[in-house]
Amino acid sequence: MSNCADGLIDAIMGSTAITVSNCHMTNHNDVMLFGASDAYAEDAVMQITVAFNHFGRGLVQRMPRCRWGFVHVVNNDYTHWLMYAVGGSKHPTILSQGNRYIAPPDVNAKQITKRDYATEAEWSKWTWQSDGDLMMNGAFFVQSGESFFNQYTNQQLIKAKPGTFVTRLTRYSGSLNCMAGIPC
């Protein structure tokens, strides 16, 4: 997926129970937006999983950007971003597990996370946790809030592999090379 008019993937207006998986995304500014606006509190029910994707060349930000809700970011390969990879506002809960984050050369863009429209006193209470992520080229994830890993069971989350497995897990992400009448 690349070069869309707005976001590559947007989930808004109370959408929930969404999985974005096995995509290869390139050449876009606002990649994924989860949550309609800071004023739309109905998005607090949102539950989204972003798994086994490759975030490639030419991406700028929002991989994803979350308002409200719960987002599980698991076993993705973040090889390129220009501003930040994971961002949000309005106290979303973000669990990042087993991803590989390769920071860009720009020293000002090494931070994976970005919190919008909140003071540090406010966003420090938001639960954003990193577990088993592989950080490369100076990438770093600013965690906040209380750890909540013990609150979820194996039935509620995809079991994450370590970040070192990500290249194997995402190597076939993107569209399948299929032809009519022939099994893929």
Q: Is the pTM of this model over 0.95?
A: no
Given a cut of 80, is residue 46 above it in pLDDT?
yes
Spatial distance between the Cα atoms of 96 and 116, rounded to a whole number of angstroms? 18
Reading the block at residue 18, the tokens are 């969404």
Does any domain span residue 133? yes
Q: Which two tokens stand for residue 113?
A: 């996370």
Structure token digits, residue 137? 């080229």
pLDDT category of residue 8 using cuts at 50, 70 and 90: confident
Task: Encode pLDDT of 105-153 as tens digits.
Answer: 999 999 999 999 999 999 999 999 999 999 999 999 999 998 776 676 6
pLDDT, position 178: 84
User: In whole numbers, what is the pLDDT of the chain averaged over residues?
Assistant: 93
CATH number at residue 36: 2.160.20.10
Asked if residue 95 has pLDDT above 70, the reply is yes
Residue 4 lies in a domain: no
Q: Is residue 25 part of a domain?
A: yes
Domain assignment of residue 184, yes or no? no
User: DSSP of the chain, one letter per residue?
Assistant: -B--SS-SEEE-TT--SEEEES-EEBSEEE-EEESS-TT-GGGGG-EEEEES-EE-TTEEE-TTEEESSEEEEES-EE---SS-SEEEES--EEEEES-EEE--S-GGG-B-EEE-S--HHHHTTS-EEEES-EEETT-B---BS---GGG--TTTSPPPPPGGGHHHHHTT-S----BTTB--
The answer to whether residue 173 sits within a structural domain is no
Q: CB burial class (10 A; 0-12, 13-18, 19+) of residue 4?
A: middle
Residue 84 inside a domain? The answer is yes
Q: Taking CA 9 as the corner, what is the angle to CA 148 and CA 135, rounded to the nearest 5 degrees?
A: 50
Query: Is residue 33, in this structure, part of any structural domain at all?
Result: yes
Residues marked as catalytic: 62
Q: What is the dihedral of CA 16, 150, 143, 118, to 10 degrees?
A: 50
- Residue 66: inside a domain: yes
Residue 161 pLDDT grade (very low, low, confident, very high; cuts 50, 70, 90): very high
| Number of domains the chain is built from | 1
Using an 8 Å Cβ cutoff, are 71 and 45 in contact? no
**Mean pLDDT value of segment 5-23:** 91
Residue 46 lies in domain: 9-165
pLDDT in tens, 71-88: 999 999 999 999 999 999
